[in-house]
Amino acid sequence: MTSICVFGAGAIGGLIAAKLESAGTPVTVVARGPHCEAMRANGLALRSDGREVVTRPRVETDPRSVGAQDYLMLTLKAHSLVPAMAQLKPLIGPDTTIVAAINGVPWWYTYRLGGAFEGRRVEAVDPDGVVSAGLPPAQALGCIVYPAADVVEPGMIHHTYGDRFTLGEPDGSRSDRAAKFSELLIKAGLKAPVRARIRDELWVKLWGNMAFNPVSALTGATLDKVLADPGTHAVCRALMVEGQAVAEKLGVRFAIGVDKRLAGGAEVGAHKTSMLQDLERGRPLEIEALLGAVVEMAGWVGVDMPIGRSILALVRQRAEVR
């Protein structure tokens, strides 16, 4: 039987665990606090498509009692990886596939990238190589998360929209491990295409996140207001143009244009970005994975990002003075 552990079983992790369990695929979740206690006592409940189901994944607080897994799905935010390294170690063996369901530039980004930047460390998300040492890039499987969900109360996940988790190997290969995990997600009622050029799709999502999240956090505005206002719309567009220049220097091909991506963001409506939600709740911000890493890579490829550098500095300052 395939062993699967979801580490960071909050909204997205809980959604995945509940979906897999509902489809008959056993899952272990590592959690803590009231959410953990509620799942142990009452199960993991998922509200989705007007229905509510209660599942019973194995719930643990100590990864040492779980052991090495076939698939370890990480649904943390990127800045939580370094503090979690010691906890993650018991879950990873030589054959463990690490499914990186994390927003932003991932620690494995330059693994098998090819060209001049092959294997270069992105300090913004892998300071001093700590993450790569604990999570070997050769064992990583890229995963782009599209659904939105919330933990509405301990043990209860509300899935609001989206059902796609795009998978891809850093080297573009069609691996058995990617195909198998895709099959498990599809069996669970999710869309899980495997893409040869995972970085292209990663950038389309990052393209919006690197602009919408920090601008929303700085203004306190929901996404519809950010993109309806001519001033903040212009800032987002300029920031995305800078990001596109960096990505294309790294070999990325964009399937859509910047204005279509902006229009797609506007269609989401009165949505509080995750960064704005974190700011309001006093949580650390994922600014380094979403923008800091892009500014860092801009220096590699000789692209100037004056808007990006300014927004990055403002958000860092905002985070410090909360």
Catalytic residues: 205
C-alpha–C-alpha distance, residues 290 and 149, integer Å: 20
Please name the residue that has the structure tokens 């369990």: 21
Residue 33, sorted as left (phi over 0), alpha (psi -120 to 50) or beta, turns out to be left
Of the candidates 221, 175, 216, the residue with the CA atom closest to the CA atom of residue 198? 175
- Is residue 315 a contact partner of residue 217, using CB atoms and an 8 Å limit? yes
Of the candidates 45, 50, 6, the residue with the CA atom closest to the CA atom of residue 22? 45
Secondary structure element (H or E) that encloses residue 146, with its range: none
Task: Report residue 134 as tokens.
Answer: 């604990």
Q: What is the CB neighbour count within 10 angstroms for residue 162?
A: 15
Helix 230-249 vs helix 198-219: crossing angle, to nearest 10: 150
Task: Report residue 100 as tokens.
Answer: 């990186």
| Largest distance between two CA atoms of the chain | 54
Pairing of strands 44-48, 51-55: antiparallel
DSSP letter for 143, please. E
Task: Report residue 3 as tokens.
Answer: 């062993």
Determine phi and psi for 57, rounding to 5 degrees: -70, 160
C-alpha–C-alpha distance, residues 306 and 31, integer Å: 40
- Is residue 9 a contact partner of residue 29, using CB atoms and an 8 Å limit? yes
Of the candidates 141, 186, 146, the residue with the CA atom closest to the CA atom of residue 165? 146
